[in-house]
């Protein structure tokens, strides 16, 4: 009888050790981005550059600490993006750009690499953290994407408090709208086609993460384009264009000229090249961005797989990006 008890104890201890080993067999990893575009060192004062670096680090560590404490990759993605949405520095949440009509319309999406479940919201005007509402759509509804008034009605139904449009106002973004409109008027007087303004074209924020259970997640959030019209929606809330995650291939989040990223289906394209084409992450990311570039689009993409391998690809002068290195230290990069 004693021998049987001892045997059961040994089996139990062995099972515990084995399960613990399996649980920690995966390397946690996280990458975030805060947009890509004409980001030159000469255009950023030392003080402003430090503000960006500090906020990016704060967002990165918010997600990384979730992962270190055995949280899910979805929790990490949401936590990291929430920090950037709450900052006026990025074109998401608080720092969202203005539409032609002088309003703020926000988009976001999130995806679970284990189940391929996804949620997205588009053209919402009173949601402080669109990425959190996108997750609610994924987990608490039978739909993938909700837009405008319907998305906000769902948010209220779920107990989310709406914020007034004034919450999103920043003088910096307002002045960007005025400059964009002035450019548009000048082009009209010259009888030329209005050119794309380089004013905050790519301020989208995003995150990809890998948790201790080996599950991937990706999320993206944006305020869109300065001076956008007619309820324009870009790639950020579109699964397969701005966001994608599949444990069988990778997780990816993109930022850039949404119209081109939608046509290429950038994030799904990256995942497909990894899964079917047997490309490594960097090859797949570079290939997808080459297709965007060939169409005349600009931007970037961050990619992560279940082995903790990473890739970042962009065709602009800079891209706000950060990750945790193999020693657990944050690496924050801005310029090309």
Question: What are the catalytic residues?
Answer: 204
Q: Which strand (E) or helix (H) includes residue 268?
A: helix 266-275
310-314 β-sheet, strand order: 243-245, 251-256, 299-304, 310-314
Gyration radius of the chain over CA positions: 21
Q: Which of 310, 112, 97 is nearest to 120 (CA)?
A: 112
Q: Are 292 and 264 within 8 A, CB to CB?
A: yes
Q: What is the C-alpha separation between 87 and 252, in angstroms, rounded? A: 23
Strand segments (E) across the chain = 29-37, 106-112, 118-124, 145-147, 205-210, 216-222, 243-245, 251-256, 299-304, 310-314, 318-324, 330-335
Q: Are 243 and 130 within 8 A, CB to CB?
A: no
Q: Are 251 and 303 within 8 A, CB to CB?
A: yes
Q: Which residue has the tokens 């797989």?
A: 305
Q: Which residue has the tokens 């139904």?
A: 157
Q: Which residue has the tokens 């918010």?
A: 62
Q: Are 221 and 84 within 8 A, CB to CB?
A: yes
- Residues composing the chain: 336
Q: Are 271 and 317 within 8 A, CB to CB?
A: no
């Amino acid at each position: 009888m004693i021998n049987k008890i001892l045997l059961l104890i040994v089996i139990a201890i062995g099972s515990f050790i084995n399960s613990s080993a399996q649980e920690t067999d995966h390397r946690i990893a996280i990458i975030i981005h805060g947009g890509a575009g004409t980001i030159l060192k000469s255009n950023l004062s030392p003080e402003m550059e430090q503000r960006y670096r500090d906020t990016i680090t704060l967002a990165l560590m918010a997600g990384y600490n979730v992962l270190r404490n055995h949280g899910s990759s979805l929790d990490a993605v949401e936590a990291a993006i929430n920090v950037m949405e709450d900052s006026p520095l990025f074109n998401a949440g608080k720092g969202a750009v203005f539409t032609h009509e002088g309003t703020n319309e926000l988009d976001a999406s999130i995806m679970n690499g284990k189940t391929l479940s996804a949620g997205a919201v588009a053209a919402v005007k009173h949601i402080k953290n669109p990425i959190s509402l996108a997750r609610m759509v994924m987990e608490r509804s039978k739909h993938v994407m909700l837009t405008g008034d319907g998305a906000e009605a769902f948010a209220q139904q779920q107990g989310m408090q709406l914020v007034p449009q004034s919450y999103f106002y920043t003088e910096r973004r307002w002045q960007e709208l005025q400059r964009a409109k002035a450019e548009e008027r000048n082009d009209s007087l010259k009888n030329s086609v209005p050119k794309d303004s380089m004013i905050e074209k790519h301020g989208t924020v995003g995150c990809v993460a890998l948790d201790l259970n080996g599950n991937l997640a990706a999320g993206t959030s944006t305020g869109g384009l300065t001076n956008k019209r007619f309820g324009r929606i870009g790639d950020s809330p579109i699964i397969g264009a701005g966001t994608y995650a599949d444990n069988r291939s990778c997780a990816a989040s993109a930022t850039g000229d949404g119209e081109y990223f939608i046509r290429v289906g950038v994030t799904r394209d990256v995942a497909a090249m990894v899964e079917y084409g047997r490309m490594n992450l960097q090859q797949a990311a570079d290939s997808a961005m080459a297709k965007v570039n060939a169409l005349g689009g600009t931007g970037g993409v961050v990619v992560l797989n279940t082995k903790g391998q990473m890739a970042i690809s962009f065709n602009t002068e800079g891209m706000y990006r950060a990750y945790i290195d193999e020693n657990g230290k944050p690496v924050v990069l801005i310029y090309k």
